[in-house]
Amino acid sequence: MATRTRSRLVMALLAPALALGATVGLASAPASAAVWSSCDQWGSTTLNGYTLYNDIWGSGAGTQCIWANSGTNWGVTANHPNTGGIKAYPNAKKVIGKSITSLGSLKSSYNVTVPSSGAYNTSYDIWDTNYAYEIMLWVNKTGAVGPLGTSQGSLTLGGSTWTVYKGNNGSNDVFSFVRSSNSSSGTIDILPILKWIKDTKGWFGNVTIGDLQFGFEITSSSGGLAFTTNSESVTSS
């Protein structure tokens, strides 16, 4: 995976303010009527507790449009060139706002339809409230993409088997869990993963989990490819 910086996250958070002045491309939303769509680079909206971002943040990006029927049923049509480097991370964000020790449960289910070509991963991107730590959970990947950092070995946790990578992008530590086999649907028990990082590895302390994002980290999608979140749920207590 190309170096990730907080600038991408910061730009995404500024999406509503920037959307008026930044428009990217002419890719079209699907023919079915959606309650919201945008081709703006930083296009953003909030639906039933989830905030959606078009989030075209990487250099050399092409066109991309996002559509949504709800915060948990949405997708993009993206036409990014066949070059290296992440171009975009369209995603849906849920704010957790609890420390690891105060969480009794944190789970998420997903069901996606993704293309067989291009270069991308489907992933959760989880941040502490200080944006010092980033936890990525890759549920599927296609093409020439890979996580930042070095392999720490494999383990089975949260309902899946993962290869774990640890790295730093210059702004924050990144812990990536790459699923051993691609999955288009499933449920992840996220809290045991956070506790493993905290208690078993000691890579961070009792941090407060802020943003929990789920989406498609796209490097290339030449010719125009469709990525769809058919359903998603995030539950915590």
pLDDT in tens, 182-204: 999 999 999 999 999 999 999 99
pTM: 0.88
What average pLDDT does this structure show over 223-231?
98
Work out the mean pLDDT of the chain and round it to a whole number: 90
Find the mean pLDDT for residues 138-142.
Answer: 98
d(CA 50, CA 48): 6
φ and ψ at residue 157, rounded to 5 degrees: -160, 140
- Between CA 171 and CA 194 the distance in angstroms is 20
Give the tokens for residue 174: 């990144």
Which letter does DSSP use for residue 144 in this model? S
Q: How do the domains of the chain map onto residue ranges?
A: 6-236
What would the mean pLDDT of 88-114 be, rounded to a whole number?
98
pLDDT in tens, 200-223: 999 999 999 999 999 999 999 999
> What are the tens digits of pLDDT across the range 142-151?
999 999 999 9
- Residue 225: which residues within 8 A CB-CB, separation 6 or more? 77, 78, 79, 115, 117, 118
Second-level CATH architecture of 6-236: Sandwich (2.60)
Q: Which two tokens stand for residue 141?
A: 């990947």
Q: Is 7 exposed, middle or buried (0-12, 13-18, 19+ CB in 10 A)?
A: exposed
For residue 162, the one-letter residue type is: W
